[in-house]
Amino acid sequence: MRDFRDAKLMARTLKAELAKADLEISHSQALELVARQLGFDQWNILAARIEADPKPLPAIRYQPPIPIFRIFDVDKAMEFYRDFLGFTVDFEHRFGENFPLYCQVSRGDCVLHLSEHAGDASPGAKAFTWMHDIKAFHAELTAKDYRYLKPGLQEAPWGLEMTVTDPFSNRIAFCEKV
């Protein structure tokens, strides 16, 4: 993903691509267009912002980890993650017809992998995820009246927390900073 520090390269690319379509603009016009695309009124304002924040992006960057939870029953897992928690099944994979399931479920930025494979994870794992509007999420889950779990909210020193436990003893602690 490009950011404002790439503005000069973006302007050169824009100018070159327009030239391929027989649309000629000056380099300064390209800089002004890029500045407006990035939300700045003019190039000078963007250039000052670039100088104020000259640090390059680190070569090594991390994405949030994706916990893998061991499951033993696909129907029970889908009932819990998809139907109760409201996650979407992003993909499912099996190596063959009578093989274990490996899948990804997500809701917003919270991404989990669920696996029937014996070596992928141990049952009883726990994941922690920050979220916004935990009270609304709690109300949504309470309204579903899931027969196997009635989650509660607890005050913790780090925020308001709600922990849910899936049918395989895996736990997710949802927390909102208050």
- Rounded CA-CA distance 48/109 in Å is 33
Q: How many domains does the chain have?
A: 2
Q: ∠139-141-144 over CA atoms, to 5°?
A: 110
Shared-domain flag, residues 39 and 8? yes
> Within a domain: residue 95?
yes
- Rounded CA-CA distance 175/82 in Å is 20
Shared-domain flag, residues 40 and 99? no
* Residues 6 or more apart whose Cβ sits within 8 Å of residue 23: none
For helices 27-37 and 7-20, the axis angle rounded to 10 degrees is: 120
* Residues 6 or more apart whose Cβ sits within 8 Å of residue 33: 11, 14, 25
Shared-domain flag, residues 117 and 83? yes
Shared-domain flag, residues 93 and 155? yes
Rg (CA), the chain: 24
Shared-domain flag, residues 132 and 45? no
Shared-domain flag, residues 37 and 80? no
> Within a domain: residue 14?
yes
pLDDT digits (tens), the chain, 178 positions:
455 667 788 888 888 888 888 888 888 888 888 888 888 888 888 888 877 766 666 788 888 999 999 999 999 999 999 999 999 999 999 999 999 999 999 999 999 999 999 989 999 999 999 999 999 999 999 999 999 999 999 999 999 999 999 999 999 999 999 8
Shared-domain flag, residues 48 and 92? no
Structural domain harbouring 162: 68-176
End-to-end Cα separation, the chain, in angstroms: 31
Shared-domain flag, residues 142 and 171? yes
